[in-house]
Structures are given as structure tokens and as C-alpha cells.
């Protein structure tokens, strides 16, 4: 007994793009936040960290409620919810110190990631990636070590780095939004 298998399909997938005005608005907001980070880095950083704390607090409450309602993976939801609530409350209670702590942890994370990235690039250079890849790997390792040994400099510079990235990314999003419209 044989069964026929149909291999042709009329299913067509379509990539859904966001509306042009959404991309355009995202670009404008990114540019504004970037300008504020460059000209008022301390106040803007404190405000952004407080917004992050409110988000963590809300997300933690939702995770705890989800852990109580759904019994599947309840332990992980409960733990992540409690940790998010604690982080949100601590950041909101200490608005002046918390950006330094959050940025310090972020710098340590970035330092480790940069160090690993540099080691991978250097290893690729040793396996035939070329001299340029080796130099880039060594420079990346040096940057990672600098971030890990002197995180205060990274904390002081990070708002400006984020500001420039937001401005350039925002300009790209504005241009992309305009191109999507036409």
C-alpha cells in the first residue's frame, strides 16, 4: 500500500515590517536620549536607571504572580521575580549610588565579554586568520583587561559612549524610517 506525498506547498511567508513612523519615532527618541546623555550624563543616567528599576519591579511582580498561577517552572519564575523586585526596590531607594553600582556591574560584564572576544580573535589569528585579526585580538584583550582593572574609568565614560551610539543609531533609524515611507 503506497501513500502519495505532496511536496508542493502554496504557503507563502511574508516578513512583517514595523510601520515607518514607528522606526522614525524610535530614531527621534534615541537621538534625544543620546543628546541628554552627552550633555547631562549624571542626571540622565540616574533617570534611566530609575526607569529600569521601575521596569524590574513591575516585571518581578508579574513573575511572582505567574509563579503562583502557573505551576510549570514556578520555581524559576518565583526566584527571578523576587530578585527583580529586590533589585528594583534597592535601586529606587538609593537613586544616587545605584547608577554607579549598575554601571560597575555592566563594565565588569562588558570587560569579560571583550576579553573573551579578544581571545577568540587571537586564536583565530593563530589558526590562519591573518596578522590583522591577531592585532585586533591583542588590542581587544588589552581593552578587556583595562575595563576589568579600572572599572571607574569605564563607568565615567560609559554614558558618553551610550550617548554617541544612541545618536548614530537614532540617525540611522530616522533615515530608515524615511526610506520605508517612500
In a domain, 38, yes or no: yes
In a domain, 118, yes or no: yes
User: Vertex 31, ends 143 and 114: CA angle to 5°?
Assistant: 15
Mean pLDDT on 61-88: 89
pLDDT of residue 77: 87
pLDDT of residue 57: 94
Residue pair 144/115 in contact (Cβ under 8 Å)? The answer is yes
In a domain, 152, yes or no: yes
H or E segment to which residue 75 belongs: helix 74-93
Cα(118)–Cα(168) distance, rounded to whole angstroms?
25
Mean pLDDT on 83-95: 90
pLDDT of residue 144: 85
pTM strictly above 0.85: no
pLDDT of residue 1: 61
Residue 9's pLDDT band (cuts 50, 70, 90): low
Cα(51)–Cα(45) distance, rounded to whole angstroms?
10
In a domain, 94, yes or no: yes
Total count of domains within the chain: 1
In a domain, 99, yes or no: yes
In a domain, 120, yes or no: yes
Average pLDDT, the chain: 86
Domain range for 55 is 20-177
pLDDT in tens, 112-164: 998 999 899 889 888 887 888 888 888 888 888 888 888 777 777 888 888 99
**126: its cell numbers:** 593563530
In a domain, 169, yes or no: yes
pLDDT of 16 > 80? The answer is no
In a domain, 13, yes or no: no
pLDDT of 110 > 70? The answer is yes
Amino acid at each position: 500500500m503506497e501513500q502519495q506525498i505532496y511536496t508542493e506547498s502554496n504557503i507563502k511567508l511574508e516578513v512583517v515590517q514595523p510601520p515607518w513612523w514607528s522606526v522614525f519615532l524610535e530614531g527621534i527618541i534615541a537621538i534625544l536620549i543620546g543628546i541628554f546623555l552627552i550633555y547631562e550624563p549624571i542626571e540622565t543616567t540616574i533617570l534611566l536607571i530609575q526607569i529600569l528599576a521601575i521596569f524590574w519591579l513591575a516585571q518581578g511582580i508579574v513573575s511572582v504572580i505567574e509563579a503562583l498561577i502557573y505551576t510549570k517552572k514556578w520555581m524559576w519564575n518565583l526566584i527571578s521575580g523576587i530578585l527583580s523586585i529586590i533589585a528594583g526596590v534597592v535601586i529606587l531607594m538609593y537613586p544616587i549610588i545605584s547608577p554607579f553600582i549598575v554601571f560597575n556591574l555592566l563594565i565588569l560584564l562588558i570587560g569579560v565579554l571583550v576579553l573573551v572576544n579578544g581571545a577568540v580573535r587571537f586564536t583565530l589569528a593563530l589558526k590562519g586568520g591573518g596578522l590583522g585579526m591577531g592585532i585586533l585580538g591583542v588590542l581587544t584583550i588589552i581593552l578587556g583587561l583595562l575595563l576589568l582593572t579600572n572599572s571607574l574609568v569605564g563607568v565615567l565614560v560609559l554614558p558618553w559612549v551610550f550617548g554617541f551610539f544612541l545618536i548614530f543609531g537614532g540617525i540611522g533609524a530616522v533615515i530608515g524610517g524615511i526610506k520605508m515611507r517612500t
